[in-house]
Amino acid sequence: MKKSRESIFKNKLVLAVIAELLILVVAGILEPGFFHVEYNATTGMLYGSLVDIVNRSAEITIIAMGMTMVIALGGTDISVGALVAVSGAFALKLLRWDVTLYPTPGDYTIAPFFLVILVPLLICTAMGLFNGVLIGKFKLQPIIATLILMVAGRGIAQIATNGKQFTTGYTPYRFIGQGSLLGLPFPIIITIVICAAVMIFVRKTAFGTFVESVGVNPNASRVTGLKSDRIIIIVYTLTGFLSGVAGLIYSSRISSCDSNNAGVNYEMDAILAVVLGGTSMTGGKFSLAGTIVGSLIIRTITTLVYYFGITSESIMAFKAVIIAVVIIFQSEPVGKWLATRQARKQKAGELRG
């Protein structure tokens, strides 16, 4: 009983990994150079599709860490995409301050660099806190509470930059998204550090269990002495912070801010990563490792689809098919049907044996 139960849960992770490997094999067959990784001595960086996949999945992976727990709490956060835009907009605002005074982009910053990093992160954390308070304290439905910032967030980002797109050439800032450390693109390093930090925070303390408990039954958790509202607030605030980090990486990658297009559909991708990773949308048990694999799957498919020469917008159709398959298999009635089928098979096997 014990083993089978745990193996089912682990199976989801295993399934996700197998899916990822399968997609990679397909990619390898279609594009022989797919697994080729090259070290460029002059830039000191590794190049290749695999590195690229991990690198490009950074933003979604980072956001999805928070989203996993949001979903485990039985909620959703659809404001993360808007927060990505907010973060980039404020960073660029601080780098350039006023384009009429400093019309040409260059290797300079107006505000001190630490503020360029800190202020956007603080603003996004505060916005996450706003979400958390609405949901935790005022018991709003997560989707509607985060809808508020999803609508208003981009407006705030636009107003911060007066509706203009700033560009920057400031080297330390560009390093965040374009630099490299130990041969790896810097976003990968950030992702590893953040994933490790979140996983340690969640699994080496009782926080993970508390999140699962509140996700399953908030009332009972409160009566058992858990401060449900505080846990909800922490999770949404963390997600806000992580969206801010993702926003910095994204805007650094493109060396500018784009309040209209930065982070569009990130909430969808993050949720998809979580669901692919085996965490159920109805809340409860969650798996951070699964989420990381889920995020990689999304990016691998995207990369693969590019090889077919299909446009980025149409990738959505493929994503749709994949989610449909995954959620249909995850759904309760199908699960039950599969279980009874399996049981029947086993029974037949026993009879024959």
Partner 1 sequence: MDNRKQNKLVNFITNPKYLMVLATIGIFLVIYIAGIIMYGDKGFATLRTFMMLFVDNAYIGISAVGMTMVLITGGIDLSVAAVASLTGMFIAYGTTVLNIHPLICMAFAILVGVTLGLAMGAMVTYLKIPPFVATLTGMFLARGVCSLISRDSISIDNELIDKMAGWKMYFMTFSDGEWVKVKPVSYINLNVVLFIGMIIIGTIILQKTRFGRNVYAVGGNEQSARLMGLPVDRTKMIVYGFNGFCSALAGIAYALYVKSGWNLALQGGELDVISAAVIGGVLLSGGVGYMIGTFFGVLLKAVIPSLITFNGTLSSWWGKIITGALVLLFVALQQLVMSGRLFKKKKPSASHQKE
Partner 2 sequence: MQGIEIQFPGVKALDGVDFTLRRGEVHALLGENGAGKSTLIKCLTGVNKMDAGKIVLEGKEIRPTDPKNAMDLGISTVFQEINLCDNLSVAENIFIGRQPMRRGQINWKEINRRSQELLERFHIHIDVTRPLAQYSTAIQQMVSIARAVDVDAKVLILDEPTSSLDNEEVQRLFAVMRDLKKQGMGIIFITHFLDQVFEMSDRLTVLRNGHLVGVYNASEITKLELVSSMIGKDLDEIFDLKRASIKKDAPVALEADHIGAPGKVEDISFTQQKGELLGFAGLLGSGRTETAEMIFGVTRMQDGTLKIDGHTVKINEPMDAIHHKIAFCPEDRKRDGIIGDLTIRENIALALQARRGMLRPMSRKEQDDLSNKYIKMLSIATPDAEKKIRELSGGNQQKVILARWMATEPNLLILDEPTRGIDVGAKAEIQRLMLQMCEDGMSIIFISSELDEIIRCSNRIIVMCDGKKAGELNGEGCTQADIMRMIAGEKDGETA
Residues forming the site for partner 1 (CB under 8 A): 76, 134, 138-141, 143-145, 147-156, 158-159, 162-163, 264, 268, 271, 275, 281-282, 311, 313-321, 323-324, 327-328, 331-334
Q: Does 224 bind partner 2 (CB under 8 A)?
A: yes
Q: Give the nearest distance from C-beta 216 to partner 1 in angstroms.
A: 16
Picked from partner 1, partner 2, none, the partner binding residue 212 (CB below 5 to 8 A depending on kind) is partner 2
Regarding 225 and contact with partner 2 (CB under 8 A), the answer is: yes
Q: Are 260 and 22 in contact (CB under 8 A)?
A: no
205 binds partner 2 (CB under 8 A): yes
CA dist 89 and 163 (Å) reads: 10
What secondary structure letter does DSSP report for 249? Answer: H
Please give the Cα distance from 54 to 48 (Å, whole number): 10
Q: Could you tell which of partner 1, partner 2, none binds residue 5, using a CB distance below 5 to 8 A set by kind?
A: partner 2
- Cα 91 from Cα 81, distance rounded (Å): 16
Question: How many other CB atoms sit within 10 Å of the CB of residue 69?
Answer: 29
From the list partner 2, partner 1, none, which binds 333 (C-beta under 5 to 8 Å, kind-based)?
A: partner 1
Residue 193 has a CB neighbour count (10 Å cut-off) of 11
Q: Is 10 in the site for partner 2 (CB under 8 A)?
A: no
Total chain residues near partner 2 (CB under 8 A):
25
Output the six-digit token pair for 319: 């994503």
Query: Which one of partner 1, partner 2, none is in contact with 213 (Cβ closer than 5 to 8 A by kind)?
Result: partner 2
- Residue 141 binding partner per list partner 1, partner 2, none, with a CB distance cut-off of 5 to 8 Å that depends on partner kind: partner 1
C-beta of 272: minimal distance to partner 1 in Å? 8
SS3 content of the chain, % helix, strand, coil (to 5): 70, 5, 25
Q: Which residues on adjacent β-strands are paired with residue 39?
A: 46
* Residue 222 is a binding residue for partner 2 (CB under 8 A): yes
**Beta carbon nearer to partner 1, 45 or 150:** 150
Query: Are residues 53 and 122 in contact, defined by beta-carbon separation less than 8 angstroms?
Result: no
Considering the complex, what minimum distance in angstroms separates the CB of residue 89 from partner 1?
11
The torsion of the CA quartet 128, 129, 131, 137, rounded to 10 degrees, works out to: 160
> For tokens 């009429």, what's the residue?
100
d(C-alpha 320, C-alpha 326), whole Å: 10
Under rule CB under 8 A, residue 206 binds partner 2: yes
Q: Would you say 7 or 265 has its CB closer to partner 2?
A: 7
Q: Taking CB under 8 A as the rule, does residue 1 contact partner 2?
A: yes
> Which of partner 1, partner 2, none is residue 16 near (CB under 5 to 8 Å by kind)?
none
Question: Which of 45, 84 has the CB closer to partner 1?
Answer: 84
248-287: which residues touch partner 2 (CB under 8 A)? 284-285
Cα separation, 195 vs 210, whole angstroms = 19
Exposure class string for 260-298: b at 16+ Cβ within 10 A, else e: eebbeebbbbbbbbbbbbbbbeebbebbbbbbbbbbbbb
Give 46's contacts (C-beta < 8 A, 6+ positions apart). 37, 38, 39, 40, 180, 183, 184, 185
Phi first, then psi, for residue 39 (nearest 5°) are -105, 120
Least distance in angstroms from the C-beta of 14 to partner 1: 22
Nearer to partner 1, 18 or 321 (CB): 321
- Select the binding partner of residue 210 from partner 2, partner 1, none (C-beta < 5 to 8 A, by kind): partner 2
Q: Looking only at residues 281 through 340 of this chain, which bind partner 2 when binding is defined by CB under 8 A?
A: 284-285
Pick the closer one to partner 1 by CB: 79 or 109.
Answer: 79
Q: Which partner, partner 1, partner 2, none, binds residue 216 by CB below 5 to 8 Å per kind?
A: partner 2
What is the binding site for partner 2 (CB under 8 A)? 1-2, 5-6, 204-207, 209-210, 212-213, 216-217, 219-227, 284-285
